[in-house]
Amino acid sequence: MSSLNPNSRNEREPYVVSSKGYTAVAINAAAKAGEFIKSRQGTVKELGTKSSAQDLVTEVDKGAEQMIRRLVLTHYPDHAILGEEGVVPGADAVTAALEEAKENEFLWIVDPVDGTTNFVHGFPFYAVSIALAVRGELTVGVIYDPVRDEMFVAEKGKGAYVHGVKTAVSSETSLGDSLIALGFPPDRQVAQPANLAALQNILPKVRGIRAGGSAALHLAYVAAGRVSAYYEVGLSPWDCAAGVLLVKESGGQVTDTQGNPYHIGTRHVVASNGHIHEDIVSSLKEAGATGF
């Protein structure tokens, strides 16, 4: 029996999304886009590139983003949407688009396929990421992995859940016991040297490193306690907005690579279970790998 007091709810009771509103729309859009993406794996005909030969885009990314835009705007025609495929590539253009978008009271931040390179190669590790910021504050975050049919949902102040089960970050307190995720975005000027220096410094200190190729899923995995921490230099808002809320609502910590609080414009991200956060940040500083 569920208690009338929401705070005394048994942790093992399934979570029921309380609001029929924003969260339900985000879940619905992520589920639809995710099913569409999965149905198209292995069928990509036209492979486009953006900032470089490593920066891929497909008709599936564009189609999925269009689906999500239509669905969100059907419910909330006056809300704004910042989507990966609506912004020209490059850090400056992303910053400019974000500055403009931030003016909106309700801003949806959408990555229709996070892990496009994986999707194109048939490596089954990609996801849809949808976040809603209200007056600049992350309020809803949904990440859907259509391959494993895992829907990660976070609502500000209400916790984070995967199919109704509360997620919680892991408990490791030392780097030696930790499994760390990282990533390599396509920018070879700034991001690649920083991420390589970080790898060299941190690999000898930890139990293992994983680089799966989807920032959103790595953040969801920090939230779910499947990895102890994740860091990456050179991300965009849509890669991490939803995942950041998932980590925070699962008891974890998220900062930039210098240890400053995360905000929607943060590009160099550290997310952890909290216990090893300082060790990661100091390692990045020691290695000259903060990206700043």
By the criterion CB under 6 A, which residues form the site for ligand 2AM?
51, 55, 84, 89, 111, 113-116, 183-186, 213-215, 232, 234-236, 239
Mutual angle of helices 22-40 and 59-75, in 10-degree steps: 160
Q: Which residues pair with 133 in a beta bridge?
A: 107, 138
Residue 145 within binding range of Ca ion, rule CB under 5 A? no
Encoded one letter per residue, x for contact with Ca ion by CB under 5 A and - for no contact, window 246-275 reads ------------------------------
249 interface partner picked from ligand 2AM, Ca ion, none, CB below 5 to 8 A per type: none
Q: Of 9 and 210, which CB lies nearer to ligand 2AM in the complex structure? A: 210
DSSP classification of residue 262: P
Q: Taking the complex as a whole, how short is the minimal distance between the CB of residue 198 and Ca ion, in angstroms?
A: 22
Q: Is 84 annotated as a binding residue?
A: yes
Contact 118, 125 (CB under 8 A): yes
Residue from 26, 34, 81, 84 in contact with Ca ion (CB under 5 A)? 84
Residue 111 within binding range of Ca ion, rule CB under 5 A? yes
CB count within 10 Å of CB 192 equals 16
Q: Taking the complex as a whole, how short is the minimal distance between the CB of residue 17 and ligand 2AM, in angstroms?
A: 26
Q: Taking the complex as a whole, how short is the minimal distance between the CB of residue 57 and ligand 2AM, in angstroms?
A: 8
Q: Taking the complex as a whole, how short is the minimal distance between the CB of residue 21 and ligand 2AM, in angstroms?
A: 27
> What is d(CA 284, CA 270) in angstroms, rounded to the nearest whole number?
10
Q: Which two tokens stand for residue 199?
A: 């790898």
> What is d(CA 2, CA 11) in angstroms, rounded to the nearest whole number?
11
Q: Of 167 and 214, which CB lies nearer to ligand 2AM in the complex structure? A: 214
Sign of CA dihedral 53, 127, 87, 272: negative
Q: Is 177 annotated as a binding residue?
A: no
> What is d(CA 143, CA 131) in angstroms, rounded to the nearest whole number?
9
Amino acid identity of 71? Answer: L
- Determine the residue with CB nearest ligand 2AM: 183
Q: Of 22 and 126, which CB lies nearer to ligand 2AM in the complex structure? A: 126
In 3D space, the residue among 223, 155, 168 whose CA is nearest the CA of residue 16 turns out to be 155
Binding residues: 84, 111, 114, 239
Binding positions for Ca ion, rule: CB under 5 A: 84, 111, 113
